[in-house]
Structures are given as C-alpha cells and as structure tokens.
Amino acid sequence: MRTLDWVDGAIEMVDQTKLPQVVETLRIETVADLVAAIERLSVRGAPAIGVAGAYGVALAALRHDPGTDRSGFDAAVASIRSARPTAVNLARMVDRVAPIAAADPAAGLAEAHRIRDEELAASIAMGERGADLVEALMVERAAAGDRDGAAVRVMTICNTGGLAAVERGTALAVVQTLHERGRLAEALPIETRPLLQGGRLTTWELQRMGAPHRLLVDSAGPFLLSRGGADVVLIGADRVAANGDTANKIGSFSLALGAADAGVPFVVVAPESTIDPATASGDDIEIEDRGPDEVASVRGVPVAPDGTPACNPAFDITPVRLITALVTDRRTVRFDRGETL
C-alpha cells in the first residue's frame, strides 16, 4: 500500500502513531498540521519525511502564494525544514522544491511528485540490490564454513518498510524481496524502544506480506547474534556521512557491536539521497533528543515515577568500521573490502 501521497490538494498519510490497532488516514491541509505530524511521528522514516517535506513545500505555496506572500511562504518552508534535524532527506527535499515552488507553485508540485516517484523506484532497486548482496554474503559465509542452508535469518531494527518510504521501503524492502524469492527463513525485528516502531510497525508490515517473523526485545539482539541467531543484520539510515558513518535509530550501534563480535554481516540500506557529502563524519551529525516523556511512559501509560528525568536520543551513530556494506538504489559499497563512498 502507498502510505503517503498528494490527494486533491492535500497530503494524505497513514497515521503511524495509531498502528497496529487502527489504520487511519490523516488528511493534512496546512503546513502547521504537517509539521505537527512530522514531530509526533505520524509520518517518519527518512525517505517518507523527505517526500512529506517536498509536498509540504507545495502545500506552503498553495496556502501562501510566493508572488504575493513571500515572507509567509518562506516562514512555512523554514518550519518544515527544521521539523526534525537528524534525517538529511527532509532538509534536502525541502531545499530542492522550495526555489521551484517560489517561482511557479505548479512546477513545485510537479517536482514533489517527481521526488515521490524517485523514492518509489529507489525502494524497488534497494530491495533487489540488497537481496543480491545478502545472497552473495551467504555464499561467502558458506564457503568459509560459517553457515549452512539456503534460507536467511535477518535481524532488523525500527521500521524500514513502506511506512518509512511510501512503498516497500529500504532494509525491509530487502526482506520483502528475499521473501518473494523464497530465500527468507525468518525476520527478527527488535521492538525498538521507546516508541516500539519494530513491535508496532515492522511486525504489521511483515504480517501483511506473509513473511515469517518473531519479535525480540531490544536487549536480546546482540546476545542472539552471539549465539548464531541471525545470518545478517539489515538497518536503514537517517543520514550517512561522507566517510560512511551512519545515523540510525537508537540501538543500531549495539547491534553493530554484537554483529562484529559474532562475525555477522551488518548492512545499511538507504537511498542515495540519504548520503550527505557535506557531513564529514558521524561526529558532525546532530542527534535529536526527544525528552523524557517517551521513556517514562509507554503509549501514555507511566512506567516510572512522575518527574523522572531521562536521556532520550532518538538516533545513534554506527562507525563505518562496523559496517559491512552500504546498499543504495544506485550502488553497493563494500566497506569490508576497503571501498569508500
């Protein structure tokens, strides 16, 4: 299913905060509502918020004619661009559409449609390219005597499917392609605290595609890797620095450490648009802290005493030395073989 699109002058999206219990479509008709939807994670995932941002600029031009209200248009665009700081796709797609929409709102909307279509094509390409790499990695491991059998057990974190990328996704697109090829033994999503995107969203998508899966608590991932519980780890990315360091959902770094210790390939799957040549390394990536409420409660139910302080980084940085390969819609980069971006 397409989880985000432009429909009759507004943005429509599946509200990810309501899943899996309720499948509800939000109709976003104002920039303020879009910014609020991005901030509360009704739409999330780097490719998806990039598309949302592109359509948001088109919406801004519709509500604030750049020819007569340029200051209103610029302010609306700035509010979209800054809604979430870590994922580079949001700022990049806003910056791509804004000058076009400022000159011609209709052309701006056409450019936003083009971005959507590019992400759809990228998801298909990443799924195919990533599945090819996983199969090649399994051949390499079998030749080294590290595994038996043709089917693959894949561990993953957060949500990287169509909910994060309009359709199919990034890392989960690889899982879907492996499943369609009959090569998936099992997907092992971790729950992904504090907002449970793995437990709520990835399991929902795996169930819809009919893929075998079991849900893990976050802390079980590295231990199960040490016991041979998975053949490969696949993650998405919110930003890939020029040196290959990768920002992704908090917990990705722990999985990378566990995979390195266990000798399990650790693969990042992200569109080319997520690579940021202007960011030299992971040290330069701003990490969003979302405050204590998400940690001290689970979906509105308190799990800690009132007033409990918390540290809540939404993302972490996996250094390139722990990453086996990066798969984009255009290329596969084998960091384990000394290749660079």
Cβ 173 vs Cβ 161: under 8 Å: yes
Q: Are 230 and 316 in contact (CB under 8 A)?
A: no
Give me the sign of the Cα torsion angle 198, 201, 203, 205: negative
Q: Tell me the C-alpha distance between 267 and 270, whole Å.
A: 10
Catalytic residue flag (residue 245): no
Which helix or strand (DSSP H or E) is residue 249 part of? Answer: strand 246-249
Cβ atoms of 322 and 258 within 8 Å: the answer is: no
Question: What φ, ψ does residue 77 adopt, rounded to 5°?
Answer: -65, -45
Q: Which of 271, 316, 300, 308 is nearest to 130 (CA)?
A: 271
In three-state secondary structure terms, 257 is: helix
Structural tokens at position 149: 């059998």
DSSP string, 313-338: BSEEEE-GGG--EEE-SS-EEEGGGT
Q: Specify whether the CB–CB gap between 15 and 42 falls below 8 A.
A: yes
196 vs 191: CA distance, rounded Å: 5
Cα–Cα distance, 67 to 59 (Å, whole number): 15
Residue from 64, 185, 200, 65 nearest 135 by CA? 185
Q: Which amino acid is at 244?
A: G
> Is 122 within 8 Å of 272 (Cβ atoms)?
yes
Q: Of residues 231, 238, 245, 276, which has the active-site annotation? A: 238
Q: Select from 60, 72, 68, 48 the least CA-distant residue to 98.
A: 60
Q: What residues act catalytically?
A: 238
